[in-house]
């Protein structure tokens, strides 16, 4: 039975690939949710900016209306004073009219200055402030999005390696020539024949292993040729050079 020596490494690589794929999908879903949130934030920020500009313009119109009202009041005073002045004679009345005219001109000048200031410098300052607020909010919203997840470098799959199995099996065979022949270490034992010198031949695999071997049992060899049997760590060993049975991979 051929065993891939890289089976464990290949399984680990597959597991890493699955973990990587799951992590990427999870991060992609989280990024998509944040991206959706960013679109909502952008709409909210743009709507807030538009409302702020509209409010600033309405505020300027309100101040313009108040300026017109003030000018209207000054003009009414001037007209009323001029009407009263017709019923009087003398320099006093003319001086009074000149004073009212100056008040009217001052009110008109104040109206023009307030309108110019409100729709000029003040409006520009408020616009710049609104724009800076919007840009700051957009940057903060973009930072919450974070970076798009990347799948990263591929997980390299180790190649299959059956050659190492045979090499390792050969090493095991060399070691088995002097050890590991105790029946206690083997399982799935099947008697397959007898050697010319009368040694029983078996096929088996070592406990926990999958590779099938053909060889002798130390307990059988002990009965026929005790000189070919030794002990290593409380287990019987067989020196295959002293019997006519070979230890080999099936």
Distance between CA 54 and CA 238 in Å, rounded? Answer: 100
Find the domain containing 197 and state its range: 163-249
**What pLDDT is attached to residue 79?**
72
In a domain, 223, yes or no: yes
- What is the tens place of the pLDDT at every residue in 192-245? 999 999 999 999 998 888 889 999 999 999 899 988 888 887 888 888 888 999
In a domain, 149, yes or no: no
Of 102, 101, 106, 118, nearest to 66 by C-alpha is 118
Is residue 15 domain-shared with residue 116, that is, in the same domain?
yes
Is residue 14 domain-shared with residue 78, that is, in the same domain?
yes
pTM over 0.85: no
Q: What is the DSSP letter of 121?
A: I
Residue with tokens 């050890």: 179
pLDDT above 70 covers what percent of the chain? 78
Is residue 126 domain-shared with residue 169, that is, in the same domain?
no
Is residue 115 domain-shared with residue 82, that is, in the same domain?
yes
- What is the tens place of the pLDDT at every residue in 105-142? 776 777 777 777 777 788 888 888 888 989 898 888 88
CB 64 within 8 A of CB 114: yes
């Amino acid at each position: 039975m051929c065993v891939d020596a890289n089976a464990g490494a290949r399984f680990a690589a597959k597991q890493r690939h699955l973990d990587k794929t799951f992590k990427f999908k999870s991060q992609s879903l989280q990024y998509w949710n944040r991206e959706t949130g960013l679109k909502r934030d952008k709409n909210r920020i743009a709507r807030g900016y538009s409302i702020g500009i509209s409010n600033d313009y309405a505020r300027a119109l309100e101040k313009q209306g108040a300026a017109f009202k003030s000018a209207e009041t000054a003009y009414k005073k001037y007209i009323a004073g001029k009407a009263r002045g017709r019923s009087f004679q003398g320099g006093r009345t003319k001086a009074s009219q000149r004073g009212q005219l100056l008040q009217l001109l001052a009110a008109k000048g104040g109206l023009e200055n307030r309108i110019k200031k409100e729709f000029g410098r003040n409006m520009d300052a408020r616009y710049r402030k609104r724009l800076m607020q919007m840009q700051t909010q957009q940057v903060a919203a973009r930072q919450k999005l974070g970076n798009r997840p990347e799948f990263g470098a591929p997980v390299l799959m180790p190649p299959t390696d059956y050659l190492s199995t045979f090499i390792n099996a050969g090493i095991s065979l060399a070691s088995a020539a002097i050890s590991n022949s105790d029946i206690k270490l083997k399982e799935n034992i099947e008697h397959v024949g007898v050697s010319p010198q009368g040694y029983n031949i078996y096929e088996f695999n070592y406990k926990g292993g999958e590779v099938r071997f053909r060889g002798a049992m130390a307990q059988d060899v002990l009965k026929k040729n005790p000189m070919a049997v030794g002990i290593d760590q409380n287990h019987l060993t067989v020196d295959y050079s002293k019997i006519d049975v070979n230890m080999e991979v099936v």
